[in-house]
Structure 1
Amino acid sequence: MRGSMLLAGLLLAACTRGDGAPVAPAGSLQVTEVARGLEHPWALAFLPGGRMLVTEKAGRLRLVDGRGAISAPLEGLPPVAAGGQGGLLDVVTDPDFAQTQRIYFSYSEPRADGKGTAVAHARLGDKGLEALRVIYRQQPSMGGHNHFGSRLAFAPDGALFVTLGERYDGMDQAQALDGTLGKVIRIDREGGVPAGNPHAGRKDARPEIWSHGHRNPQGAAIHPQTGRLWVHEHGPRGGDEINVVLPGRNYGWPVITYGVDYSGLKIGKGEKQRPGMEQPLHYWVPSIAPSGMAFYTADRFKAWQGNLFVGSLKFGQLVRLELDGEHVSREERHDIGARVRDVRQGPDGFLYLVTDEDQGRILRVSPAR
């Protein structure tokens, strides 16, 4: 175990909920450094026996043991288009990992006609990845280095949700159903289209699309009671959103948003609402730059059961949201002091964070003693 520190909850008077309500004052947490020395880690997944898998954006996948020892990069990964916001992104274990030893991961894939988010699975062997297979490729490919998404979440029925950014220059295509820029897709474990997708059978829509009108979703989690997918996504300048993602729904980007362009000008007509387009469950102005998201279901923080936790890249915080059904009733923020890229609940009931730094860290969050 590495050094630990107490972090008092930080009340930021300038940061309010999207509806103008003040941020609630926070308590204190104990934050323990589990590992250090990862180059811009992006995602964390837990393995049986106390080990963790960690992706580094540069295109490396590593194992971290319970003492914080970091392995050499695992062999067998595909080529990764690392740069800007692209690289090796999310990683999750197969729901039947004990039998299959299979992991799934997303990454920005280099292609002859540009780049695009891809999803692959592989068996975790003694020296690295075996039997690698790319099961999904976002289309169309585009140049540039921005807005790849991408989080992975297995639904209770075994289907895999993948969040896909609109690649920034493809923002208008977030509204089009003949491609998968700015979409959430639902696929089976081999990349096929499972029963129940809303556009299956249509000739003018990709059958894997679950929802559209997204910008750059970098948080995804399955609600522990309802089984519904929740995502959050980056707004432009303001307008980060949390959405409950329902089949066939249009979440509005870039037609409606609570943000503005980075220049300060309106996005499109500057609309915040339009019939047929969903309103966010929660939003932030100014942006917190959210990344990583987890529902808390364990017993370590009994008062926080059912709460939603979100990392903030911009402010270096862990954000706790109290929920009343599908409504955020309170928000509090804890200052971590580094860009929080991922948030996971560990098998021990603690929360684990990954920090986006040159010497990136894994942090364990526990109640203050």
Structure 2
Amino acid sequence: MQLPVLLLSLIAAPAFAAITDAPPAPTSTVRVVTLTDQLERPWGMAFLPDGSMLVSERPGRLRRLSADGELSPPIAGLPDIAVRGQGGLLDIALHPDFARNRQLYFAYAAGEGLLGDYGTEVASGELRGERLENVRVIFRASPKAGGGRHFGGRLLFDRDGLLYISLGERGDRDRAQDLGDHNGSVIRVRDDGSVPDGNPFVGRAGVLPEIYSYGHRNVQGLALDADGTTVWGLEHGPQGGDEINRLAPGLNYGWPVITYGVNYGIGTSIGEGTAREGMEQPVYYWDPSIAPSGLAFYRGDRFPRWQGNLLVGALKYELLSRLVLENGEVVAEEQLLKGEIGRIRDVDVGPDGYVYLLTDESPGRLVRLEPGRE
């Protein structure tokens, strides 16, 4: 059942220091409608053709929220999931032809061996009622490792039906520069897990052919741009240096050789500084860190002024950042909801044009943003 509405008139806070020094964007007023507050550490969401939604919970459950606000019991059929540190059940994505084949894709942490090594895996299954059937693993990040940090876990299908998978470097920085290691990269595969011929490292000795881009610390958001041609990635920096990047095949995004962040607590430099030839600069970065998670381009008619803007969730400052783009560059930022609804884990735009947010809490919420009176 739909819960009470919160009406917020939001004043843009001063922008955090960033590479573009973007000024504040014009302020927005929104209504916050809580659809459910009975989730545990929700992580990802997907909109079903019948108007209901799927939500993943990191402790290892998949739930359906009906169009009238009823939350289902956990959907059956998931494989064993390792709930360790930042790992568990992560993002979910529908196959582009879901209405016909009912294929759901999900990322999760999985254990292996007696030493307690863990890594990100992606599986697919057919959603039949309240159960997943014919579940099979289509990708396993290799090698697995100990610890519970930086699993990545975002999923995105592009217009050609290729699947992008983000992988953190598992807290071991140098892995992000090792092309013989999946971790610290963005992966691109076909819907069955096979490698597309157009991947940038196909046929190159000693390089894993699934890798699309590398030099990433922990990508926590993936989105297609407004015209559907370019994949954008949102990634956690260390202390400072959270980044937004335009992802392109075969490019190196620098971690840990270059970064705008520093070592936690002690503030010492990391790597070689902020730039190096052959390594990409971010489109935008935050310092101090906002711990970003969830990325979406706004396309819809509910918020006309937001058309083509980037929407970014933040865990640390509990806010939604709206980034205004011109010619692919950030020219203004508005920070909404700061401290109002909790840690924002995921951001998406529904088929109805409203903006949906998940809060990384226990209990966690799924909320819908609607236009308020300007």
Give the TM-score of the pair, scaled to structure 1. Answer: 0.97
**How many residues were matched structurally?**
368
Change (3 A) 1:281 1:274: same
Name the CA distance, whole Å, in 1 between partners of 2:213 and 2:177.
10
Does the CA-based 8 Å contact 1:7-1:334 persist in structure 2?
no
Task: Output the amino acid matched with 2:265.
Answer: S
User: Which residue matches 1:357?
Assistant: 361
Shift of 1:325: 2.1
Name the CA distance, whole Å, in 2 between partners of 1:187 and 1:269.
31
Task: Output the amino acid matched with 2:129.
Answer: D
Alignment of 1:305-344 (within 5 A): 305-335=307-337, 336-344=340-348
Does the CA-based 8 Å contact 1:60-1:88 persist in structure 2?
yes
Shift of 1:268: 3.3
Shift of 1:141: 0.5
Does the CA-based 8 Å contact 1:255-1:267 persist in structure 2?
no
Name the CA distance, whole Å, in 1 between partners of 2:131 and 2:239.
40
Shift of 1:304: 1.0
Shift of 1:91: 0.2
User: Which residue matches 2:247?
Assistant: 245
Name the CA distance, whole Å, in 2 between partners of 1:262 and 1:331.
26
User: Which residue matches 2:164?
Assistant: 161
Q: Tell me which moved more, 75-84 or 266-275.
A: 266-275
Does the CA-based 8 Å contact 2:15-2:333 persist in structure 1?
no
Shift of 1:15: 2.8
Name the CA distance, whole Å, in 2 between partners of 1:172 and 1:267.
16
Name the CA distance, whole Å, in 2 between partners of 1:226 and 1:341.
23
User: Which residue matches 1:173?
Assistant: 175
Q: Tell me which moved more, 22-31 or 126-135.
A: 22-31
Change (3 A) 1:14 1:226: closer
Shift of 1:267: 4.2
Does the CA-based 8 Å contact 2:343-2:360 persist in structure 1?
yes
User: Which residue matches 2:104?
Assistant: 103
Alignment of 1:209-288 (within 5 A): 209-288=211-290
Task: Output the amino acid matched with 1:258.
Answer: Y
User: Which residue matches 1:189?
Assistant: 191
User: Which residue matches 1:71?
Assistant: 72
Shift of 1:185: 0.7
Name the CA distance, whole Å, in 2 between partners of 1:357 and 1:293.
19
Name the CA distance, whole Å, in 1 between partners of 2:317 and 2:28.
18
Name the CA distance, whole Å, in 2 between partners of 1:25 and 1:342.
23
Alignment of 1:129-168 (within 5 A): 129-168=132-171
Which deviations, in whole Å up to 9, do the C-alpha atoms of 1:174-222 show, x marking residues without a partner? 0010011100010000101012100000111001110000000000001
Shift of 1:270: 4.8
Change (3 A) 1:183 1:354: same
Identity %: 49
Task: Output the amino acid matched with 1:354.
Answer: L
Name the CA distance, whole Å, in 1 between partners of 2:35 and 2:352.
14
Please say if 1:368 is aligned against 2:351: no
Which deviations, in whole Å up to 9, do the C-alpha atoms of 1:23-49 show, x marking residues without a partner? 335221111011111001001100011
Task: Output the amino acid matched with 2:268.
Answer: K
- The CA RMSD measured in Å over matched residues stands at 1.3
Give the TM-score of the pair, scaled to structure 2. Answer: 0.96
Change (3 A) 1:292 1:31: same
Does the CA-based 8 Å contact 2:22-2:331 persist in structure 1?
no
User: Which residue matches 1:118?
Assistant: 121
Name the CA distance, whole Å, in 2 between partners of 1:106 and 1:306.
28
Gaps of at least 5 residues in structure 2 are none
Change (3 A) 1:23 1:270: farther
